[in-house]
Structure 1
Amino acid sequence: MSLKITEECINCDVCEPECPNKAIYQGAEIYEINPELCTQCIGHYDEPQCQIVCPVACIDLDTEYPESDEDLLAKYKRIWSK
């Protein structure tokens, strides 16, 4: 499933450049993640890079977008086949 950034975000700017799919962007108040582009780094890395670098651990699973690892890999292939 996609990830989401919670309201604990401190806008530190470290997650955005780490996202290989460019799914992270500055929202109205905090950074946000586009669920259409988030693959939890599947296809690129073994674990989500944004979660690794986040100093306040404010990036969680987005239960509104349930996806299996296979779904995320298919999304990765769709994104990068363009």
Structure 2
Amino acid sequence: MLKKKHDMFCRQECYRATDVKLPANMHSAWGVGGTQPDPAHNRLLDDGTIVPLGKPVQNKVATTLLYNEFIVYDVAQVNVKYLLQMKFNHKY
């Protein structure tokens, strides 16, 4: 889930696993993957949270990451609300 208010100004987008240095004005990194939930099926909650839903689709950007991931460098910023167990069936 993404909070709409944090979309552009607080986190750094990265497209390679080697992008590990975070700029001083950012608090986290968004690893943009080659596979992502279909944005056409996103849900917007009343508090502005965007919940990605839908079947995986190929992202149109060039990236070496398989899927979207969020990297937080300060664990004090993490507040686990949901825990998911997933099984990946890769075709690779």
| TM-score past 0.5 threshold | no
Q: TM-score range by the shorter chain?
A: 0.3 to 0.5
After TM superposition, the score normalised by the length of structure 2 is 0.31
| Bigger helix fraction | 1
Structure 1 or 2, whichever has the larger Rg, is 2
Higher relative contact order (CA 8 A, sep 6+): 1
Greater per-residue strand proportion: 2
TM-score, normalization: structure 1?
0.33
